Structure 1
C-alpha cells in the first residue's frame, strides 16, 4: 500500500512539531510505502535539514509556507474573471458567517448553503490554479483585496466584518494567501498525491487542504489526524496577540469553514482524546467518521523505574509537565504546597522544566520570588531542612538527567495546569508507576482514568488536600501507581498507535473503489489494488444506483453469489469518499 503523508511544520524536518509521532508511524509500518509531502514554516526549519529516513519512504516533496510562492503565472482575461468570481464568493461566505458559530449549521454536522458555497469557492480556485498552472499572484492581487472589501461592505455582512478597516483587510488577505498556497502546488498529478492509496494529513489547516484537493482531483481517500485542533489554537493565538476584532472574525470564519469542509470530505478523522473530538464535532465532523487514536509514546525509557517503583522519596512531590508558562499555574501549586508543608513539614517539591519564551522567563522569575517568600530558608526553624523545600531545575543537570530519573525521585507526580491538551508529562509519570494528582483540564481525566486523583483547576486547597492524602497513604500510592502504569502501557504506547493506524489504513482502502492497478516488482497486483467491495454495487463503493434501475432487495440477495450475501454498509465502517472522476 502506498500512503501519502502530508505534514505541516513537522516530519521529516529535524525540528518539526509533529515529527516524533510521524517518524514512529513511518518506521513502524515497514510493510508499506510512504510518499512524504511536507509544508515548512520557516527558513530555520528548512536549514536544519531532514531526519534520516527509512527505506519505506520512497520520496519526499517539500514546499514553503513561510514565503510567498512565485510561480510566474500570469492569468489571461478569462482566468482573471474566473478568479474574481470564485474569490468574491469565498469572501462573501466569510463576511456572512457569525463569529459565535464559524461553522454555521455545518458545525452541528449539517450542510447549510454557506458550507456548500465555501466548498465550491475553494475548489473553484483549486481548479483554476490547476488549469492555469498556479494562482499565487492572483491571491496577492488587488482583485482579491477589492473582493474582500466588497464582501465586508455588502448588505448582510456580519457586524465585525463591516467594521474592518483597510489594515484589517490587508491582514486578512495576506493570511488567506498563505493558507491557500497549497492550491498552487504541483502535488496533485499522477506521480504525486494521485498515485497514493491513502492520503494521510497529519494536521488540519494547509496539510488537510492538500489532502482535500487530492481527493477532489483524483478520488484519493483522505484520512485526517489532529492531535491538536487547529481552530482552537487559532482562536487562542489571535486573542493573545491582540488581533483586531474584524480580523479575528474573518479568519475564524475561514478556519471554521475549512475544517468543516475537510471533515465532510474525509473518509475518517482521528483525534487523540475526547477534548479534541468535541472540537471536531463542533466544527462539523460526523461521529461515525471519528476514531480515537491515543498518542503513542516510547515506554522503554521508563521501564526500569516503572518496574522498581519502591526507590522514591516518600515525602517528595514532582512537577515535570513541560515548558513553564502561565498556563501551568505554578502559582497555585506553590500556594498548595504551602498548605502541604504545614500538614507534612518534611515534604519537598521539585519543579523541573524550562521557561517557554520571554513570557515564560518572566513567569518563572515570579514563581521563584513567590517560593522564596513562602518558604524562606528554614535551616534555623523548628523543621530545619538546610535549604528551601522548593527547587527549580532543568532537565540535563546532574540530578535530572532524564524524565524517568526525575519521576523516580518522587512519590507523587503533580499537574496544576489551567490549560492542557494531552498531558504527556502525566503519562510519563504513569509509565514510571507513580501516583498522580492533577487538575481537571483538557484530556487529563481521559488519560488518568481512575488511577489518580483529579481536582478542580485554580483550587490550591483541593490540590493540597489530594497531595497530603497520598503522602500519608503509601499503600494507596502503590496501588494507584501500579494501576497507572498498567493503563499507560495498554493505551499510550507507540505499538498501540502504530497498530491503530495500520488497521485504519486497511479499513479505508478496503472500502474504497479501485482507481488504478498497482503492480509489484514481479508484475503481480499489489494487495488491495482491487478491493472486492468495489465490484459489488453498494453504499461502500460510493456508486449511486438510480432508484428506477435499482433492483428490489430480495432480488439483489437472490442474485448475489454465495449464500447469505447481502447488500449494505459493513458494520462499523466509516463513510467512504466518492470514486474518482473520469479524467
Structure 2
C-alpha cells in the first residue's frame, strides 16, 4: 500500500524529532511505498539536508513552518465574507471554554463545541483551496477583529475577555503559523489524495494534512504520539499573558481532540501518553499502545557479555538540560560518597542549546564545590570523583561503551516522556535507579529501582542498595535486558504498525473505482494491501515537491533529483 507519512521537524531531515523511529519504520516495512510530507521548523534544519532515504520512499514533499510569504491572493466580497464567518466561528470555539473539559462549563456540550471548531477549520481549508491561498487573510486586520469580537462576546472565558490589543495580535500570529498547512498544495489527486493511508508521526500541525486528506478524499488517518503535543504546549515556559495562554491552550486542545476524533486509530507510545489522550477526548476503542522501536543490536555485545563494569561506578547518560535534574543527582552523589567513598560518577552527554550549555556550566561548578580536590586518600590532587564526558572520545567511543562503564545507570529527571536512555541501559543488561516521572515505571516494569523525583536522599539510598549487592544488580540487569528485548525492539514496532496498516485499510472503502468493460465497478480491483512499491516504467529520480511561493495552492509540482547535500546515515540524536 502507499503510505503518506506526515512529519514535523524531523524525518527526513538530518536533525529533528522522531527522525530515528521514522527511518526505522520505513526501512522495516519495505513491502510498502512511502510518500513523505515533511514540515520543517527552521532554515538551519533545511540547510542541513536529509538522511539517506531507502528506495521505498517514492516522493518527498516539504514545506517550512518557520516562514511563509504573503500569497498575494486578493479576496472578493464573497470570499471575505466566508473568511469572516469561518474564522469567527473558530475564534468563538476557542473562547467558549477549555478543550477536553467534560463538565461543559461553558454552557455548550463538549461535542457541540468540537463540531463548531471542526466546521470552522474545514471551512477555512475549503476557502484556501478555492481561493488558492489563506496566508494573507490570516494576517489581515479582519482576523484580529474577528478574534476580538469572540473575546468580547457574552459567555466568553474570563481570561479571553481580558485580552488587550497586544494579546489579540499575539494569538492571531500564532494561529496563522499553526494553520499554514491549510494553504499547502498537498491535497490534490496526485498528492495526499492518492495515498491509501495517512500516518501522522506527531500531533499538532503535522496532523492537519491528514485531517484535510480525510476531509477532501476520505483517506484514513493513523495518529502516533510518543510525546503528546498538547502536554508539551502546557509544559512550555512562556511569559505570555493569561489571555494568550488561555486562548492558545484552547486552540491546541481543540486541534488535538479533532485529530483524535477523525483518526481511525491512535497509537500512543506508552501508557502515560495514553492517559493524556484519553483526557483530551480520544476514544479508548481507538487507542493501541505501540512502544518505540530501538536498535538492540548495537548493545548486544555489552548485554551478552559478563559483568565487566567497574562495580564502584555510577553512569548517567542523556541530554544535558534542566529537566534532567543533574543538580539533585550531584547532591545524591555527595550522600553516596559519605557511605561509599570509592564510588565514581560519570555524566555522559552533550548540552541541548544555550540553556543546556549554561546548565552544564552550573553543574560543573556545583561538582567542584561539592567535591573539592582531594589531597589524600583514593584520589590524587586535582582529581574529582565526578566526570563530565561526551560520546566519541577515546574512553567512550560508542554509546554502548558509556553504559558498559558503570555497574548502575541512574536517571534523575523531573520531566520525562519515554525514557530512551533507560531502555538502552536495559539492552545493556544494567541495573537502573530512576525517578518516577513520565513512562519510567511502565518501561522499567519491576526490573529496576524507582524513587520520587527531586529527592536526593532517596536517590542515594537506592544507588547504595545496588552498589552493595552485586547479585541483586546481576538479577535486575538480566531481567531488564529480557524485558527490553521483548517490548522495545525495532521488530516489535514495525510488526505492530504493519498489522495496524492492514487493519485500517481493510475497513476503508476503496476510493479509486475501477470499471470493467461494461462500465460497471470492478470489486477488489485496487486492494491497497497488494500495492507494489517502486516505479516499473520510469526508474527516474525520486520526486521532490515543495509548496510554491507564499504557500499558494496550485503551485506546480517539480520533479527534481533529491537535495544535493551528501546523504548521512541515521544516528542517535538528542536524547
**Structure-1-length-normalised TM-score:** 0.86
Residue 328 of structure 1 deviates from its aligned partner by 1.1
Structure 2 match to 1:392: 388
Q: Distance in 1 between matches of 2:104 and 2:301?
A: 51
State the alpha-carbon separation in 2 of the partners of residues 434 and 106 from structure 1. 50
Which sections of structure 2, spanning at least 5 residues, go unmatched?
A: 516-523, 532-575
- How many Å separate the matches in 2 of 1:129 and 1:513? 27
Instruction: Provide the rounded CA distance (Å) in 2 between the counterparts of 1:191 and 1:220.
Output: 13
How far residue 336 of structure 1 moved from its aligned partner, in angstroms, is 1.2
CA deviation after TM superposition for structure 1 residue 302, in Å:
0.7
After TM superposition, give the deviation of residue 380 of structure 1 in Å: 1.3
Partner in structure 2 of residue 408 of structure 1: 404
Report matched runs for 1:241-320 at 5 Å. Answer: 241-320=238-317
Instruction: Tell me which moved more, 193-202 or 353-362.
Output: 353-362
Write the distance in 2 (CA, Å) between the matches of 1:398 and 1:122. Answer: 55
Partner Cα separation in structure 1 for residue 469 and residue 105 of structure 2: 50
CA distance in 1, matches of 2:343, 2:70: 62
Q: Displacement of 1:55 after TM fit?
A: 1.4
* 8 Å Cα contact 2:5/2:198 also seen in 1: yes
Equivalent residue of 2:211, what SS?
Answer: helix
Name the counterpart of 2:416.
Answer: 420
Q: Which residue of 1 aligns with 2:191?
A: 192
- For residue 378 of structure 1, report the CA deviation from its aligned partner: 2.4
Q: Which residue of 2 aligns with 1:445?
A: 441
- Counterpart among 373, 380, 393 of residue 369 in structure 2: 373
With over 3 angstroms needed to count, the CA separation of the structure-2 counterparts of 1:58 and 1:105, relative to structure 1, is farther
Measure how far apart 1:409 and its partner are: 1.1
Shift in Å, 1:102: 6.1
Q: Does 1:92 pair with 2:89? A: no
Contact 1:106 1:260 in 2 (8 A): no
* Shift in CA distance, 530/477, structure 1 to aligned 2, threshold 3 Å: closer
| Structure 2 counterpart of 1:544 | none
Q: Is the 8 A contact 1:102 1:252 kept in 2?
A: no
Q: Is the 8 A contact 2:367 2:386 kept in 1?
A: yes
Question: Would you say 1:461 and 2:457 are equivalent positions?
Answer: yes
> Counterparts of 1:101-180 in structure 2 under 5 Å?
111-180=110-179
Q: Residue by residue, what CA displacement relative to the aligned partner does 1:40-75 show, whole Å, maximum 9, x if unpaired?
A: 111111222222221111111111111124333222
Q: How does 1:198-277 map to 2 (within 5 A)?
A: 198-237=197-236, 240-277=237-274
CA distance in 1, matches of 2:231, 2:173: 21
In 2: Cα distance, 1:200 partner to 1:36 partner:
10
- Counterparts of 1:309 and 1:212, CA distance in 2: 51
2:2–2:528 CA contact under 8 A, matched in 1: no
CA distance in 2, matches of 1:51, 1:429: 26
Compared with structure 1, are the counterparts of its residues 3 and 106 closer, same or farther at alpha carbon in structure 2 (3 Å cutoff)? farther
Whole-Å separation in 2 of the counterparts to 1:106 and 1:232: 22
Q: What whole-Å deviation, never above 9, does each CA across 1:334-377 have from its counterpart, x for those lacking one?
A: 11112211111211111111222222222222222222222222
SS class of match (1:14): coil
Deviations along 1:165-212, one digit per CA (max 9) or x if unpaired, are: 111111110110111111111111111111111111111111111101
* Whole-angstrom distance in 2 between the partners of 1:393 and 1:345: 21
C-alpha contact 2:38 2:60 (8 A) present in aligned 1: yes
Q: 1:205 and 1:179, CA in 2 relative to 1: closer, same or farther beyond 3 A?
A: same
Q: Distance in 1 between matches of 2:304 and 2:351?
A: 31
Deviation string, structure 1 residues 81-103 (Cα, Å, up to 9, x no partner): 0110111111111112248x568
8 A contact 1:106–1:115 mirrored in 2: no
Q: Does 1:29 align with 2:49?
A: no
CA distance in 2, matches of 1:422, 1:518: 45
**Superposed displacement of residue 241, structure 1:** 2.8
Alpha-carbon separation, structure 2, partners of 1:366 and 1:53: 40
Q: Is the 8 A contact 1:229 1:279 kept in 2?
A: yes
TM-score, normalised to structure 2, is 0.87
